[in-house]
């Protein structure tokens, strides 16, 4: 039986509404991140999250990005190879990236220097998004497009 070991948990609280009128109050959506210290391909990471009842992380704004970084830092889980998050290149003609779990096009982006890259050799195996890079540049949390078959730790979310 498949078993995941989760090393880090970060709770992210995003205020969806902050108004209070009569009996109506603001709502809060909670998103929790789980950092998994197991090397897997992008598809393997997606399956690992789903088997645990979670989904591969989507980072849709700067607050989520920052809190994800804090979760990794606070638990001493910095992995020099980076972490799979749930983004992938879908439209090769326009180089459009989408979050695989929601189907939403990237609006917020945190690409590293000269990213995303669209080398024709890499396009054959698919391009997926990792947070962090392997070139040891001072961009430990910025995003990079890499071969989807690479083996990395990964980050799941619960929302």
* Statement: 6-158 belongs to CATH 1.10.3720.10: no
Give the pLDDT confidence score for residue 122 in this predicted structure: 65
Give the pLDDT confidence score for residue 86 in this predicted structure: 96
How would you label 81-105 residue by residue, b for 16+ Cβ within 10 Å and e otherwise? ebbbbbbbbbeeeeeebbbbbeeee
pLDDT, one tens digit per residue, over 10-28 is 333 332 222 233 333 333 4
Give the pLDDT confidence score for residue 124 in this predicted structure: 65
Please state the pTM of the whole predicted model.
0.78
Give the pLDDT confidence score for residue 30 in this predicted structure: 63
Q: Which parts of the chain sit beneath pLDDT 50? A: 1-28
Give the pLDDT confidence score for residue 70 in this predicted structure: 78
Give the span between the Cα atoms of 53 and 30, in whole angstroms.
16
């Amino acid at each position: 039986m498949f078993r995941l070991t989760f090393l880090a948990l970060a709770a992210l609280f995003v205020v969806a509404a902050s108004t209070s009128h009569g009996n109506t109050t603001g709502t809060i959506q909670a998103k929790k991140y789980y950092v998994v210290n197991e090397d897997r391909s992008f598809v393997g990471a997606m399956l690992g999250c789903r088997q645990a009842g979670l989904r591969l992380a989507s980072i849709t704004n700067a607050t989520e990005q920052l809190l994800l970084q804090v979760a990794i830092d606070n638990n001493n889980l910095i992995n020099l190879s980076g972490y799979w998050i749930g983004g992938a290149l879908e439209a090769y003609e326009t180089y459009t990236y989408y979050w695989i779990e929601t189907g939403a096009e990237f609006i917020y982006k945190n690409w590293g220097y000269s990213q995303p890259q669209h080398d024709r050799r890499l396009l054959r195996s698919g391009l997926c998004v990792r947070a962090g890079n392997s070139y040891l540049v001072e961009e430990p949390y910025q995003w990079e497009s890499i071969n989807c078959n690479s083996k990395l730790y990964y980050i799941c979310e619960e929302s």
